Structure 1
Amino acid sequence: MQQNYPTLSQAIFLLLRIVYVMAVIIIPYAAFRFLLHPAKYPSSFDSRYFCITIIAAQVLIFLYALKQIRKTDSFEWNKELNMRAKANWILILIGGLSVNFLIEPLAQVIPSMTLASAHLINLANDKIGGFLYLIFLAPILNELLFRGIILRGFLKNFHPAIAILASSLAYAVFHLSIIQAFASIFLCIFIGIVYWKTRSLALCISIHVLNNAIAYSLILSSNGIITIESQVRNTPIYLGIYLAAALFLSISLLQMHKMNEAND
């Protein structure tokens, strides 16, 4: 029996193709940049170039994967971007926000990568480019590729739990920052459940956009990567918000558990 695209090995090759395309674009620039002006930290232009590289690689690989899917299956935009379960959208969006807030204490004990952090700060300080990339382009492209292509295929080939975990791990590996990878795997598991239950890329994109928008605002307000705890500065209030986040996440998961699995 022929499996749906992509299988596990095909998904791995998709990620390797992204790395290959990025390497082809970045290595000549990096070599020229080092010879011309060696620097320990990336400049704003370096960060822009890096983002353009990621965008180009993801767009090319998404189009390639879409072509592969359409050889044996159908990919209809009106179905993928459906507004299913819109009555629960607000609850699910709050649940998505709660995930990153709940893992914040754990994320603080993981050492960050200076290079990745410098790129994020450069992007946040680039008011127009950073806004467009971090809040819109990155979430849209990531969801199209990792949920719309990889998870979509995995759900047809594997048990939902395996499909969601495998696609979440793939997305986490895609990140350069250890903190980003750690935080994203939990959010991706949540978004994976959302996609499994609703098959709505529109809802997945909305969750991703909202999370990135809050992270962008926090970086912009302090010119650095900070925690919500450092902004609240009041332990009882922070604990109250933390418990409320846990409650909202539990309610949103319970609500999704009651939904029937969505089918293409």
Structure 2
Amino acid sequence: MEEKKTTVPAAEREAAAEAQAETGTGELHDRRKFPTVGDMLALLGIGLGAQIVVGTAAVLFMLLAGHGFDYKAMEPAALGKLMAALYFCSMSLVLAGILYYRRARGGSGPWARFSVRGLNPALLLWAFVLIFAVGVVLEPLLNLLPELSLNVGRGFWTILSLVVFAPVFEELICRGVVLSSLRARYGVVTAWLVSSLFFGVLHGQPAQVIGASVIGLILGYVYLATDSMWSVMILHALNNAVAYLAMVTGHGNALLIELVESRTLYVLIYIAALALTAVSGYMMLRTLRRMKNPSAA
């Protein structure tokens, strides 16, 4: 018996294609799957926008209350307390907004891991040395950019903001939500590179964008290798602690190239920093290999 062939009407084919896209099996749905380029721009907008909104609201509140707002005239301790409060509020809003947006766009799965492997002392030591050495290596480039304009006050509240709040919030956002979301769709390399750039741009000023992006590459690699927020939070805190010490000694915005008067001495220091970058990078990778394979030499 000859089989009867049926033809599906065009309207039904289109309806089926739309249903397929809505259920996640169609090519159209895949193109719109979180995170797209538009999603990354939206997340960055949330990050920068929340800081602007909180800062503007604080200025307006103080002006309406008759206190005025001249941060340059404020006592360092009072300024530190104010900046810490503003940072905590703005970054809480950023994290909440990014998590809400991620969920609304269909993002799912774990976004922050806390493996004990991230507490390896040798790894933390060599990674911190690498961050320090790379900072010196980047100086000729940073010297071409506008000087940093950064005043976050002094004292306990400034330390709390730099050494606790910043590492926790920024790592949860950049190595947590952003890197993990990108990794799930685009793979390790794209997630590593884009999340590092996201981390840099979130800092705003050109010199910070460059420096933070490069540090983000180191932190991102450590996070991917250890699967642990502990490691990157500790490294971030150590880096900020050194920055605070430089700031309280009057060298917060200064570069080594500006402090060393002898050209020959600076060249020698720079060569040493290059060597230290290579050595610390190798030792960090070696430590990671040993963590994954304890029997390795």
TM-score category of the 2 structures, normalised to the smaller one: 0.7 to 0.9
State the Cα deviation string for residues 182-233 of structure 1 (Å, max 9, x = none).
Answer: 2111111222222222223222222222221111111110175222344454
1:54 equivalent to 2:83? Answer no
**Hey, what does 2:42 align to over in structure 1?**
13
| Identical-pair percentage | 22
Which of 152, 155, 159 in structure 2 is aligned with 1:131?
A: 159
1:97 equivalent to 2:97? Answer no
**CA contact under 8 A between 1:83 and 1:202: conserved in structure 2?**
yes
- Note the 1:167-246 alignment, pairs <5 A: 167-222=195-250, 224-246=252-274
Partner SS, residue 254 of structure 2: coil
Q: What CA RMSD, in Å, does the superposition of the two structures yield over aligned residues?
A: 3.6
**Hey, what does 2:6 align to over in structure 1?**
none
- Note the 1:120-159 alignment, pairs <5 A: 120-121=150-151, 123=152, 125-159=153-187
- Note the 1:160-171 alignment, pairs <5 A: 160-171=188-199
Partner SS, residue 218 of structure 1: helix
State the Cα deviation string for residues 128-184 of structure 1 (Å, max 9, x = none).
Answer: 111111122112211111001211222232243322221122122212322211211
**CA contact under 8 A between 2:145 and 2:207: conserved in structure 1?**
yes
Structure 1 residue 82 displacement after superposition = 3.6
**Hey, what does 1:28 align to over in structure 2?**
57
Q: How many residues align?
A: 254
Partner SS, residue 137 of structure 1: helix
Compare relative contact order (CA 8 Å, sep 6+) and give the higher one, 1 or 2: 1
CA distance in 1 between counterparts of 2:285 and 2:251 reads: 40
1:106 equivalent to 2:141? Answer yes
Name stretches of at least 5 consecutive residues in structure 1 with no aligned partner: none
Q: Which amino acid aligns with 2:132?
A: L
Partner SS, residue 154 of structure 1: helix
CA distance in 2 between counterparts of 1:55 and 1:143 reads: 11
Partner SS, residue 118 of structure 2: coil
Q: Which amino acid aligns with 1:57?
A: L
**CA contact under 8 A between 2:114 and 2:229: conserved in structure 1?**
no
Partner SS, residue 110 of structure 2: coil
**CA contact under 8 A between 1:6 and 1:149: conserved in structure 2?**
no
CA distance in 2 between counterparts of 1:191 and 1:239 reads: 28
Structure 1 residue 21 displacement after superposition = 3.5
**Hey, what does 1:72 align to over in structure 2?**
108
Please give the TM-score of this superposition, normalised by the length of structure 2: 0.69
State the Cα deviation string for residues 63-96 of structure 1 (Å, max 9, x = none).
Answer: 54786799732356443x6437654332222112
Partner SS, residue 147 of structure 2: coil
Structure 1 residue 257 displacement after superposition = 5.4
Rg larger in 1 or in 2?
2
